């Protein structure tokens, strides 16, 4: 899995949900740190992609990253 597998699209045809991701991180963390954490968590769930990815402010110092880990089943 890589960064191109993390998309804002809410759903993908043939996708089955394997889990939900929610990660709080400090503002000073780099984008790479955030994406690496999302990739490692979703791979641990056996996911192929993360859909519905969002970044939201939680406070002036913290972001909340969320998404749904999915596996793609061939139809």
Question: What distances in angstroms separate CA 38 from CA 50, 53, 74, one per listed residue?
Answer: 8, 10, 24
Domain total in the chain: 1
pLDDT of residue 75: 59
pLDDT of residue 73: 86
pLDDT of residue 48: 96
Q: What are phi and psi of 42, to 5 degrees?
A: -70, -35
Q: How many CB atoms lie within 10 A of CB 74?
A: 4
The CATH number covering residue 7 comes to 3.30.110.70
In this prediction the pTM is: 0.86
Each of the 75 residues of the chain gets a pLDDT tens digit; together they read: 999 999 999 988 899 999 999 999 888 888 888 899 999 999 999 999 999 999 998 888 899 999 999 999 875
What DSSP state is assigned to residue 63?
E
Q: What are phi and psi of 22, to 5 degrees?
A: -150, 120
Structural domain range at position 33: 3-72
């Amino acid at each position: 899995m890589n960064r191109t597998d993390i998309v804002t699209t809410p759903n993908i045809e043939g996708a089955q949900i394997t889990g939900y991701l929610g990660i709080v991180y400090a503002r000073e963390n780099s984008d790479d740190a955030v994406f690496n954490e999302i990739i490692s968590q979703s791979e641990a769930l056996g996911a192929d992609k993360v859909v519905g990815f969002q970044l939201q402010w939680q406070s002036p110092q913290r972001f909340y990253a969320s998404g749904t880990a999915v596996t793609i089943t061939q139809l």
